Amino acid sequence: MENYQKIIEDIYLDLKNIDDVGKVADYIPELGEVSADKFGINMTTIDNKSFDVGNANEKFSIQSISKILTLTLAYKLEGEKLWERLDVEPSGNPFNSLSQLEKDKGKPRNPFINAGAIVVCDVLIGHLKNPKKDFLDFCREISNNSCLNYSEKVAESEKACGYRNVALCNFIKSFGNIKNDVDEVLDFYFYTCSLQMSCKELSQIFLFLANDDFITNKGNSIITMSQAKRINAILLTCGFYDESGEFAFRVGLPGKSGVGGGIIAIHPDEYCITVWSPKLNKRGNSYKGMLFLEKFTTKTASSIF
Amino acid sequence: MENYQKIIEDIYLDLKNIDDVGKVADYIPELGEVSADKFGINMTTIDNKSFDVGNANEKFSIQSISKILTLTLAYKLEGEKLWERLDVEPSGNPFNSLSQLEKDKGKPRNPFINAGAIVVCDVLIGHLKNPKKDFLDFCREISNNSCLNYSEKVAESEKACGYRNVALCNFIKSFGNIKNDVDEVLDFYFYTCSLQMSCKELSQIFLFLANDDFITNKGNSIITMSQAKRINAILLTCGFYDESGEFAFRVGLPGKSGVGGGIIAIHPDEYCITVWSPKLNKRGNSYKGMLFLEKFTTKTASSIF
Amino acid sequence: MENYQKIIEDIYLDLKNIDDVGKVADYIPELGEVSADKFGINMTTIDNKSFDVGNANEKFSIQSISKILTLTLAYKLEGEKLWERLDVEPSGNPFNSLSQLEKDKGKPRNPFINAGAIVVCDVLIGHLKNPKKDFLDFCREISNNSCLNYSEKVAESEKACGYRNVALCNFIKSFGNIKNDVDEVLDFYFYTCSLQMSCKELSQIFLFLANDDFITNKGNSIITMSQAKRINAILLTCGFYDESGEFAFRVGLPGKSGVGGGIIAIHPDEYCITVWSPKLNKRGNSYKGMLFLEKFTTKTASSIF
Amino acid sequence: MENYQKIIEDIYLDLKNIDDVGKVADYIPELGEVSADKFGINMTTIDNKSFDVGNANEKFSIQSISKILTLTLAYKLEGEKLWERLDVEPSGNPFNSLSQLEKDKGKPRNPFINAGAIVVCDVLIGHLKNPKKDFLDFCREISNNSCLNYSEKVAESEKACGYRNVALCNFIKSFGNIKNDVDEVLDFYFYTCSLQMSCKELSQIFLFLANDDFITNKGNSIITMSQAKRINAILLTCGFYDESGEFAFRVGLPGKSGVGGGIIAIHPDEYCITVWSPKLNKRGNSYKGMLFLEKFTTKTASSIF
- Per-residue pLDDT, averaged over A154-182, amounts to 95
pLDDT recorded at residue B130 = 98
Phi-psi region of B146 (alpha: psi -120 to 50; beta: other; left: phi over 0): alpha
DSSP per-residue codes, A17-63: TS----EE--SSHHHHTS-TT--EEEEEETT--EEEEESTTS-EE-G
pLDDT recorded at residue D2 = 54
Dihedral sign of CA atoms A193, A198, A203, A204 in order: negative
Band of pLDDT at residue A2, cut at 50, 70 and 90: low
* Residue of chain D whose Cα is closest to the Cα of A252: D233
**CB < 8 Å to B163, chain A:** 170-171, 173-174, 182
* Residue of chain D whose Cα is closest to the Cα of A304: D304
**CB < 8 Å to D225, chain A:** 301
Find the CB nearest A246 among D88, D226, D228: D88
Q: What is the pTM of this model?
A: 0.94
CB B260 within 8 A of CB B248: no
Burial of B58 (0-12, 13-18, 19+ CB in 10 A): middle
| Amino acid code (one letter) for A206 | F
pLDDT tens digits for range A56-105: 999 999 999 999 999 999 999 999 999 999 999 998 777 667 888 888 99
pLDDT tens digits for range C79-100: 999 999 999 999 877 766 788 8
- Residue A232 to residue D305, Cβ atoms within 8 A: yes
pLDDT recorded at residue C232 = 97
**CB < 8 Å to A233, chain D:** 245, 248-249, 252, 303, 305
Q: Which of A170, A179, A186, A242 should we substitute to test contact with B (largest number of B Cβ atoms within 10 Å)?
A: A170
Q: Say how many CA atoms lie within 13 Å of C131 toward its Cβ.
A: 20
**CB < 8 Å to B242, chain C:** 89
pLDDT tens digits for range A110-139: 999 999 999 999 999 999 999 999 999 999
- Residue C98 to residue D103, Cβ atoms within 8 A: no
Q: Compute the nearest-CA separation of A219 from chain B (Å).
A: 44
Which chains, if any, share at least 3 CB pairs under 8 A with chain B?
A, C
pLDDT recorded at residue A95 = 64
**Bridge partners of residue A275, in order along the sequence:** A41, A263
Type and span of the H or E element at A276 = strand A271-276
CB C224 within 8 A of CB C80: no
- Per-residue pLDDT, averaged over B188-192, amounts to 98
Helix and strand totals (H; E) in chain C: 14, 10
Please state, for a pLDDT cut of 90, what percent of chain A lies above it: 84
* Residue of chain A whose Cα is closest to the Cα of B104: A99
Residues with Cβ within 8 Å of B117's Cβ and at least 6 positions away in sequence, in order, are B64, B67, B70, B71, B111, B189, B192
* Cβ pairs bridging C and D (under 8 Å): 52
Q: Name the 3-class secondary structure at D77.
A: helix
**CB < 8 Å to D97, chain C:** 102
Find the CB nearest A98 among B98, B166, B169: B98
Pairing of strands B149-150, B255-257: unpaired
Q: Compute the nearest-CA separation of B203 from chain C (Å).
A: 17
* Residue of chain D whose Cα is closest to the Cα of C27: D174
pLDDT recorded at residue C95 = 64
pLDDT tens digits for range B203-253: 999 999 999 889 998 899 999 999 999 999 999 999 998 899 999 999 999
Q: Which of D93, D113, D249, D267 should we substitute to test contact with A (largest number of A Cβ atoms within 10 Å)?
A: D249
Q: pLDDT at residue B2 above 70? A: no
Q: pLDDT at residue C124 above 90? A: yes
Q: Compute the nearest-CA separation of D216 from chain A (Å).
A: 21
- Per-residue pLDDT, averaged over B142-146, amounts to 93
Cα–Cα distance measured from residue D148 to residue C20, given in angstroms and rounded to the nearest whole number:
62
- Residue D102 to residue C103, Cβ atoms within 8 A: no
Q: Which of A89, A230, A234, A300 should we substitute to test contact with D (largest number of D Cβ atoms within 10 Å)?
A: A89
**Interface residues of chain C, partner chain D, Cβ below 8 Å:** 97-99, 102-103, 163-164, 166-171, 173-174, 182
C-alpha D192, offset from chain centre: 11
- Residue B230 to residue C246, Cβ atoms within 8 A: no
Band of pLDDT at residue B95, cut at 50, 70 and 90: low
Q: How far apart are the first and last CA of chain C?
A: 22
- What is the residue-level pLDDT of chain D in tens, covering all 305 positions? 458 999 999 999 999 999 888 899 887 888 888 999 999 999 999 999 999 999 999 999 999 999 999 999 999 999 999 999 999 999 877 766 788 888 899 999 999 999 999 999 999 999 999 999 999 999 999 999 999 999 999 999 999 889 999 999 999 999 999 999 999 999 999 999 999 999 999 999 999 999 988 999 889 899 999 999 999 999 999 999 889 999 999 999 999 999 999 999 999 999 999 999 999 999 999 999 999 999 999 999 889 99
Residues with Cβ within 8 Å of D140's Cβ and at least 6 positions away in sequence, in order, are D146, D148
- Cα Rg of chain B (Å, integer): 18
Q: Which of C231, C237, C297, C305 should we substitute to test contact with B (largest number of B Cβ atoms within 10 Å)?
A: C305
Band of pLDDT at residue C27, cut at 50, 70 and 90: confident
Residues with Cβ within 8 Å of D47's Cβ and at least 6 positions away in sequence, in order, are none
Cα–Cα distance measured from residue B184 to residue B189, given in angstroms and rounded to the nearest whole number:
9
Q: pLDDT at residue A201 above 60? A: yes
- Per-residue pLDDT, averaged over C129-149, amounts to 96
* Cβ pairs bridging A and D (under 8 Å): 111
**List of domains in chain C:** 2-298 (3.40.710.10)
